[in-house]
Amino acid sequence: GAVVSQHPSRVICKSGTSVKIECRSLDFQATTMFWYRQFPKKSLMLMATSNEGSKATYEQGVEKDKFLINHASLTLSTLTVTSAHPEDSSFYICSARDARGADETQYFGPGTRLLVL
Amino acid sequence: EDKVVQSPLSLVVHEGDTVTLNCSYEVTNFRSLLWYKQEKKAPTFLFMLTSSGIEKKSGRLSSILDKKELFSILNITATQTGDSAIYLCAAVYGGATNKLIFGTGTLLAVQP
């Protein structure tokens, strides 16, 4: 149980284009999903909290107009990197919490490696 | 400022050795502490610790939390090359959202 998938696993795009990354909870419902970014040899940095049916909450320093988050259902959240630039190249990871019960564990997707040329 | 600090940053051992990884935290509205193992992709869940002094075990791995001294340790006994990974600890904090703040990670390399 508690499987989270991400798609695509890796993407290469040209500077100025937009990229959408999907995060799905496969065997549980997630009212809250989280988006992280990880630079090489660094730890995970929380970018935003995605809430089903409402606006995402962004961490300080994260541009909400650049990183668009949509959480349209209890099993799907999407992150769109708009007008991507080379400095947006990174490893993006989502996580989800089970909506049932009091389990505070976050289960992570396999990540999406983005390279902007 | 909320922070989670792990030590050592990296560690090289030989198969069969026992290692202890450390995690200290200073977090407002602390709720629980999580340990993850990260190999090539995203972190995989190891333990969640909420109460002090109660050891959690899974095979050769074990972990314990001290909420008075604000730290946790992760022990790995009889290490194997497959244990080589980055070990991350994260503190759950906040209200209903339960956000995570991650430590810097400990890179463990187990040599044959």
- Distinct helix (H) and strand (E) counts, chain B: 0, 11
User: For the ranges A5-9, A59-63, A101-105, B72-76, which has the lowest average pLDDT?
Assistant: A101-105
Average pLDDT over every residue of A41-45: 83
Q: What are phi and psi of A63, to 5 degrees?
A: -80, 115
Residues forming beta bridges with residue A114, ordered by sequence position = A11, A90
- ∠A115-A109-B73 over CA atoms, to 5°? 110
| DSSP H or E run through A35 | strand A32-38
Contact A34 B36 (CB under 8 A): no
Contact B34 A93 (CB under 8 A): no
B19 touching A (Cβ < 8 Å): no
Dist. CA B42–CA B45, nearest whole Å: 10
Closest by Cβ to A97, choosing from B32, B88, B98: B98
- How close are the terminal C-alpha atoms of chain B, in Å? 41
How many Cβ atoms from other residues are within 10 Å of residue B104's Cβ?
18
Average pLDDT over every residue of A50-61: 88
SS3 A88: helix
CB contacts of A42 in chain B (<8 Å) are 104
Strand A112-116 versus strand B3-7 pairing type: unpaired
- In this predicted model, what pLDDT tens digit does every residue of B19-37 receive, in sequence order? 999 999 999 889 899 999 9
Contacts of B1 (CB under 8 A, 6+ apart): none
The tokens of B101 are what? 């703040």
Q: How many CA atoms lie within 13 A of A9 on its CB side?
A: 6
pLDDT of A103 above 80: no
User: Measuring CA to CA, which residue among A96, A79, A92 is closest to residue A33?
Assistant: A96
A80 touching B (Cβ < 8 Å): no
Size of interface A-B (CB pairs under 8 A): 54
Residue of chain B with shortest Cα separation from A48: B99
- In this predicted model, what pLDDT tens digit does every residue of B52-111 receive, in sequence order? 999 999 999 999 999 999 999 999 999 999 999 999 999 988 766 678 899 989 999 999
Supply the pLDDT for residue B26.
94
Supply the pLDDT for residue A102.
63
Supply the pLDDT for residue B2.
86
Looking at chain A, the whole-number percentage of residues with pLDDT higher than 90 is 67
C-alpha separations of A5 from A23, A24, A108, A117, B83 in Å:
6, 5, 8, 25, 24
Contact A105 B48 (CB under 8 A): yes
Contact A105 B45 (CB under 8 A): yes
The Cα of B15 is separated from the nearest Cα of chain A by a number of Å equal to: 24
Whose tokens are 């070990």? That residue is B87
Average pLDDT over every residue of A21-34: 91
The beta strands (E) that lie in A56-111 are given as 57-58, 67-73, 76-81, 90-97, 107-108
